[in-house]
Amino acid sequence: MLNGPLPMVLEALVQEHPAARIVVRTGLTAELYDEVLHGRLDVAMCLHPAFVLPKTLHWLLLREERLVVLAPQAWAHRDPHGLLRDEALIRYDRRLGGGQAAERYLRRAGIVPRERFEISSLAAIAMLVGRGVGVSIAPDAATAWWPTLPVARLPLPQSSQARRFGMVWPRTSPRTRAIEVLVDHARRVMAAKDSPRPTVASRSTPRRRAG
């Protein structure tokens, strides 16, 4: 998230609230969810966990991100499945939800890739793809650096499961008002981008958020 919308959300927040102080921590979705659930974090910007959230938490959907094939711009005319079969694969880390979704897609499509690297950073994957080191299948993430890279994002021929990216926070918190301010800025920043319109599963918000 640090390479995605988070910096834009923080920038928008301090423009209206210059005295705001926020501690940002990074982690996997499961780690951040557990921190919020046990009151060690006020709010997390993360993927929706692979289970139904308890009623003690709110969830705001900010964006749905479908899988795409990442390829050098010069290969944008080629068949996406052909690229995954014929070119070296820079795999998105299978410990992450997006990497697991990519693995399921490859299996369902009957594609056995020629793997070169397995990396947890989408930014690093995109840079390698832009340099012609290989191709990848990864979520079409909301990042500011796509236009700066010679990378084509090709839609997949078959349907794929979208990963749900948003914010989670407790229904009750001593910092509810501050949290609501942060969540509202995230909603507005994402709505300003060409993203699906955010939908809310309830209202309430914590302030300190985790990346």
The tens digit of pLDDT for each residue in 146-192 reads 778 999 999 999 988 888 889 999 999 888 999 999 999 999 888 87
Average pLDDT over residues 129-149: 88
- Band (pLDDT 50/70/90 cuts) for residue 1 is low
- CA–CA separation, 167 and 147 (whole Å): 26
Q: Would you say 75 and 153 are in contact if contact means Cβ atoms under 8 Å apart?
A: no
Instruction: Using DSSP, state whether 27 is helix, strand or coil.
Output: coil
Residues with Cβ within 8 Å of residue 151, at least 6 apart in sequence? 70, 71, 72, 73, 126, 129, 130
Read out DSSP for 38-95? TTS-SEEEEEPPSSPPPTTEEEEEEEEE-EEEEEEGGGTTS-HHHHHHHSEEEEE-TT
**CA–CA separation, 133 vs 87, rounded Å?**
9
The reported pLDDT for the residue numbered 97 is 83
The pLDDT value recorded for residue 193 is 67
Distance CA 52, CA 38 (A): 17
The Cα 113–Cα 136 span in angstroms is 10
- Which pTM does this prediction carry? 0.74
**Quick one: pLDDT band at residue 207, thresholds 50, 70, 90?**
very low
DSSP code, position 116: E
Give the model confidence (pLDDT) of 22-77 as tens digits: 888 888 888 999 999 999 999 999 888 878 899 999 999 988 889 999 999 999 99
Rounded CA separation 169/207 (Å): 9
Angle between helices 176-192 and 6-16 (to 10 degrees): 120
Q: How far apart are CA 40 and CA 208, in angstroms?
A: 10
Q: Taking a C-beta distance cutoff of 8 angstroms, is the pair 105, 33 a contact?
A: no
Are the C-beta atoms of residues 22 and 211 closer than 8 Å to each other? no
Centroid of chain to Cα 40: 22
